[in-house]
Amino acid sequence: MLDMKWIKQNHERVQTAANHKGIDLSIAELMERDEEKKRFLQETEALRETRNKLSYHIGTLVKQGAHADAELTKGQVKEINERLSVVEAELAAAEREVMKLLALVPNVVSPDTPFGRSDADNVEIKRVGEATHFGFEQKDHMALGELHDLIDTQRGVKAAGTRNYYLKGAGVLLHRAVQQLAIDLLMQKGFTLLEVPLMVRTDAMRNTGFFPLGEDQTYQLTEADKWLVGTSEVPMVTYYANEIVNAEHPIKLAAASVCFRSEVGSAGRDVHGLYRVHQFAKVEQVILCKADPELSEAILQEITANAEELLQCLELPYRIMAVCTGDMSQKTYKQYDIETWMPSRGAYGETHSSSNLHDFQARRSNIRYRDEAGVLKYCHTLNNTAVASPRILIPLLENHQEEDGSIRIPAALQPYMNGLTRLAVMDE
């Protein structure tokens, strides 16, 4: 959570961030509750000090034989204890209220973040490749999946309900191939690969900034204090929770994991095919570095470039969007989305996201390092989706389709597909 002193010094900026991110929060109320908490704390400490002095004095009076004065003092101690029990209860309630409000305080946004209300206000800053157009009647990824027996959503629904699917045969190979390609690219760049827990405690979700505002998007295991993660960012950041790390060089972590998302609030949106599903796989980049804004900005560009390199390997047209305030999460300081051209939609669709969080997660997770002077500081944390599948299969299948329905496999994927260069139609 942001430091309370810093919040007070920058209350207008923080309130603006809350307003633009659509978070129902009054910073003025938070500051009032914090002052109230301080008053209760001061009274509590004063009462305890007075009680301790009087209790010590009772012993002296008894030794002196001043029993009447001792009894009178005991009565004073009793009154103080009665008042103390009331004030301690008020203090506890005030502390809970302050913590509840603090949990809603958003990260401020970078000066170059565009203002807007939704993803419609995101700003394109770069475009690579030309949108694919065909001289024949194109098929969408579901038609191609059926033609090549790659995808089965009907049985997915039968087994697990809406927005579920089976991948089959070459569909599974493609799903795994794009992940392994991403892993190999990241390992070449010095990332340490982790296998991470998919179930985490509430604290892990809260400390990484996904709770309290993202609880409705997360599946809970009701018999335990556990949640299924929607990204390996959560366990990777939590890996260093409550630790002092060596941040002389940026700490680069990567993980390939299954992810889960409830998609509450998306009823009727993207119901066709593989765009918005409950279970998917991601290769995620997470970097921890010194609290140097110039350094973390450079790393943001670096991890975004890593995702671009993957898309270029997949030979897919894409564009980079500067995410506006209204489309950003509570935890984010600056964000890019990468959208890949999806012919069946006649538009770009989001496939990757890069975020710089500054020290927002590290404060909540208590991840610190010592600077050159030995002073403890909170790290900056960043994350990026190197690839998410099966969503990436949409542009991969659609952009590389041929007139007869065959699908060309990009050269970079062929080593992961046992040398297969194309998916031919079934009757060839």
* CA triple 257-351-327, angle to 5 deg: 105
Tell me if residue 350 is catalytic: yes
DSSP 299-311: HHHHHHHHHHHHH
Cα-based distances in Å from 304 to 17, 74, 147, 310 = 24, 69, 34, 10
**C-alpha dihedral, 170 to 406 to 257 to 217, nearest 10°:** -120
Measured over the CA atoms of residue 194, residue 198, residue 203 and residue 207, the dihedral's sign is positive
Question: Which of 51, 261, 363, 364 does the annotation list as catalytic?
Answer: 261
DSSP 161-212: -TT--EE-THHHHHHHHHHHHHHHHHHHTTPEEE---SEE-HHHHHHTT-TT
Question: Residue 417 corresponds to which tokens in the numbers above?
Answer: 């597909």
Question: Which of 33, 364, 368, 391 does the annotation list as catalytic?
Answer: 391
Cα-based distances in Å from 219 to 200, 264, 269, 279, 411 = 11, 10, 20, 11, 38
**CA–CA gap between residue 146 and residue 139 (Å, rounded):** 11
Cα-based distances in Å from 248 to 193, 245, 251, 379 = 20, 9, 9, 11
Residues composing the chain? 428
The β-bridge partners of 257 are: 282
Tell me if residue 368 is catalytic: no
Question: Which of 284, 339, 350, 398 does the annotation list as catalytic?
Answer: 350
Question: Which of 48, 201, 206, 276 does the annotation list as catalytic?
Answer: 276
Tell me if residue 391 is catalytic: yes
Tell me if residue 353 is catalytic: yes
Question: Which of 257, 296, 344, 353 does the annotation list as catalytic?
Answer: 353
Tell me if residue 308 is catalytic: no
Which active-site residues does the annotation give?
A: 261, 276, 350, 353, 391
